[in-house]
Amino acid sequence: MSLAIDIVKRDGKRPTESFNREKLHASVRAACLSVRSPEGEAETTASNVCDAVIIWLETKPEVTSNDLRRKATETLESFHPEAAYLYKHHRLVM
């Protein structure tokens, strides 16, 4: 599912892209699986995070990728703090 919300890339040099729920879902799921969450828990957590982020996005025509990551991390923190840490710092860890 894509919303009509533009995501401004981190350095502003790459073109914007439309929000893509599947892309967010996959990245949150991957963070959960990286900290050894069971598959079902990772799926449920990723869906819950996506739902919360979409509610947050509903009033915004455009957000930065950093804002999107920050909001997803804040939400993920309530479900799985260890996965949230990995998600937030993925560029440093990988």
Q: Which DSSP state fits 44?
A: H
The predicted-structure confidence for 64-92, as pLDDT tens digits, reads as follows 999 999 999 999 999 999 999 999 987 65
Higher pLDDT, 83 or 12: 83
Whole-model pTM?
0.86
| pLDDT of amino acid 1 | 46
Rounded to an integer, what distance in angstroms lies between the CA atom of residue 4 and that of residue 36? Answer: 34
What's the confidence (pLDDT) of residue 92? 53
Which pLDDT value is given to residue 93? Answer: 46
- Which of helix, strand or coil describes residue 80? coil
